[in-house]
Structure formats: C-alpha cells, structure tokens
Amino acid sequence: MIIPLLFGTLAVCLLIGVPIAISLGVSALVAIYFGSTLPLDIITQKAFTSLDSFPLLAIPFFMLAGILMGKGGVSQRLLNLATALVGWMVGGLSMVTIVSCMFFAAISGSGPATVAAIGGFMIPAMIARNYSGGYASAVAASAGSIGVIIPPSIPFVLYGVIGGVSVGNMFLAGILPGLMIGLALMLTAYFIAKKRGYSPEEQASFHFKDVLKALNDAKWALLIPVIILGGIYGGVFSPTEAAVVAVVYSLIVGLFVYKELTWKSVFESFREAVVINATTMIIIGLSVSFAYFMTLEQIPNDIATFLTELSTNPIIILIAINILLLIVGMFIDTISALVVLTPILLPIVVAVGVDPVHFGVILVANLAIGFITPPLGVNLFVASSVGGVRFEKIAWAIIPFLVSMFICLLVITFFPPLSLWLPGFTK
C-alpha cells in the first residue's frame, strides 16, 4: 500500500511539472497521511535537521570557489593551456573544450558550472569556426559531466556524507574514471571532427615552448587541485575545510595575482552562490525527509529483498541497478537522486560484496550520464543557453558522446581496480 502511494504520488507530481523538491515533500506527506501513523511534522523536522551537517558545508564553498575562479581569469588561462596542448589536433577547438573541462572539473566540482564556465567561451568560438552548433554544444555538455567525477566533486561529498564513506577516498576513486571518460570523449570528438573536416587550431604542430608558456601562465590555477587534494590526504584539513581554502585561494589569485576579479564581481559571485545553494539545500532537505520516511517504513529493505530474490549474482544486480540509475538520471537531478537512492541501494550492493567506494563511483557516473540525457539533461540546457543553440539539435548531436560514456560506465562497473587502485594507497 505505502510503496505505490509514495512513488505514485511522486510520479504524478513530476509528470505535471511540480519542482523536484516539492514533489519529494508532497509525496512523503501524502504517504504519511494516508498510510502511516507518523506525525506530519516529521517531514519539516528532518528537512531542517538534515542540513545541520559539517561535511555538507563543503557544497556551498566548492560552488562559490568555482564561480570565483570563473570570474577571476582562471577559465581563460586553462583554455590557453588546453589550446597549447591539443589545439593542433584535428577538431582542435573541440579537443580544447574537453581538456579545459577536465581542468576546470578539478576546481569546480560541478557539471553545470563547468559547462557554463568553459562552454560560454568555447561554443561561440567553435560556431564561429564553422563547427555545427549542435556538435559544439554537445562537446561542451558531455565534457562538463566530468565535473562531478574528477575531484573535488560535490556529488562525492554528498554520497560520502549519506553513505558514511570517506570523502577523501571518493575523491581519489574518481581520478582515473574521470580521466578515462575525458579520453573517450576526445576520441569520439576526433572521429567526428575528422569525418566533417574540422581543422586544427592555432598551430600546425605541437610546440613544447608554447605549452611551457601556457603552463607558466596557468600555474596559479593548476595549484588549486594540488592544494585541495594535497591538504586532504596530507591530513592538513578536512574536505569541508579544503573547500574554504579553495574560496580564499580563489579570492587571492583573482584579486591580487590575475587582478581580473573586482569587488563588484566578488559580490555577484557570493550572491550567485547563495541563490544556487538555497535551491540545492531545499532539495537536499526534502530529499533526506523522503529517504528518512522510506527507511522508517522499511522500504529500502523491501526493495533489497526483491532484488536479492531475483539474483544473488553481483553482476546481475549491478546491471539491474545501472539500468535503474540511467532511467532515474533522465528525470531526477543528481542531488535528489543521490539522497534518495543511496540509502536504498548501498546496503544491497554491500551485501553482495561490492565495495562502497566503488559503488559511489558507479552511482555518480550513472548520474553524470543523466546530465546529458533528455528530457532533464541539465548540461544540455546550460549548453543551449550559453551557446544559443536549440535544445533539439544538441540532443541529437549528443548521441555519439552518450555511447562513449555508456562504454566507460561498463568499464567502471565491471573493472573495480580502476576506482579502487588509488584509494588503496591510503590503507
């Protein structure tokens, strides 16, 4: 009774266009009112108390750091470095976009923020060089999804908090899968560019002195992930404290080193971060209430029992979970999906012998694909907005990149050492 009531109400709310946060809260309230003896105010109480979490503070600070870096000249210097590294290749600007997104992912932790920061420069530049608008936007949107896999990653922070998994280990686990996805996207872009005759950029061949010059110009930007990850694994500060350090460092570099950050833009950055974080926290709070109600009603246990009755083979269970996550990612944003699904799925995979860190990478990689999968496809909408390209054109052009990411997902799922090798050094 209670499962159909809960998920049926959620489905109806989503179909009629109710915002995801409100949909989660309403569906929990309806299920409590009609199918439970719990007090209704448990929803608001849990939504409020769930936000009283020190690790969750990393999310707004990483958001703010990413915005400050985008406005403070970091993005442009990363673009210059990427151009020196790969601009000479076939489809040079698309290669530059992917490599730049990989660099920016290492300092922003957000997929949409990466698309906005890099795509805002690169999509118009590609279109001006006669790249098709759909292809240009698809490159930026797909590469932006790496932002949630290469550390620091906001979804990894959230998964670590909910699942009781080391955030530091999650950051380490995302490095190799993130690099693999980036290389796969570059390979895809190369073949498409070669077929369409998109020419190299800037120079006809690789020049080491240009790379050294660009590397020197971008050194302050490239130090950010070194400081963040080095500080965490060196025991100097926690992931949350690392996010604060990233904000302070971004302010110092933007104001006094690159001198492209004004006090007006600092104010705008803080305001933008507050608005984005307010939305995010509402989603997290009501998502936690939804997940808490499910836990009280033993719904995760019922789902786990159902799945384990189907099969005790971890391969079959992981395939089923991947299919579920890919479908969920098409309709629900990453943060809501993480908060709702982690308490349900984590006990299931742990019971069949899957490492929680490995599963965290699988979970986030699935939801990263959701960033570029219609109808939700947040990165597609961001790319459409910053590039002025119709959503439908991007949705068709994204298909080859989706295929590449599906293949990478299979490798991540069924080759655990890719995710677990680097965290193994911390044990």
Q: Report the C-alpha gap between 343 and 297 in whole angstroms.
A: 13
32, 43 Cβ separation under 8 angstroms? yes
Residue 104 scores a pLDDT above 60 = yes
pLDDT higher than 60, residue 295: yes
- Give just the sign of the alpha carbon dihedral 130, 135, 141, 144: negative
- CA-to-CA separations, 153 to 65, 113, 115, 146, 225, in angstroms, rounded: 12, 12, 15, 9, 11
Report pTM.
0.81
User: What's the confidence (pLDDT) of residue 359?
Assistant: 96
**Dihedral of CA 127/378/109/272: which sign?**
positive
Q: Is there a contact between 144 and 115 (Cβ–Cβ < 8 Å)? A: yes
Judge contact between 304 and 58, C-beta under 8 A: no
Sign of the dihedral defined by the CA atoms of residues 119, 122, 126, 131, in that order: negative
pLDDT in tens, 57-95: 777 887 788 788 778 887 778 888 888 888 788 888 899
Alpha-carbon torsion (50, 52, 54, 56), positive or negative: positive
pLDDT, one tens digit per residue, over 313-359 is 888 889 989 998 888 887 777 777 888 788 888 988 988 889 999 99
Burial of 336 (0-12, 13-18, 19+ CB in 10 A): buried
pLDDT digit string (tens) for 194-216? 888 887 765 556 778 888 888 88
Angle between helix 92-108 and helix 111-128 axes, rounded to 10 deg: 160
Average pLDDT over the chain, rounded to an integer: 84
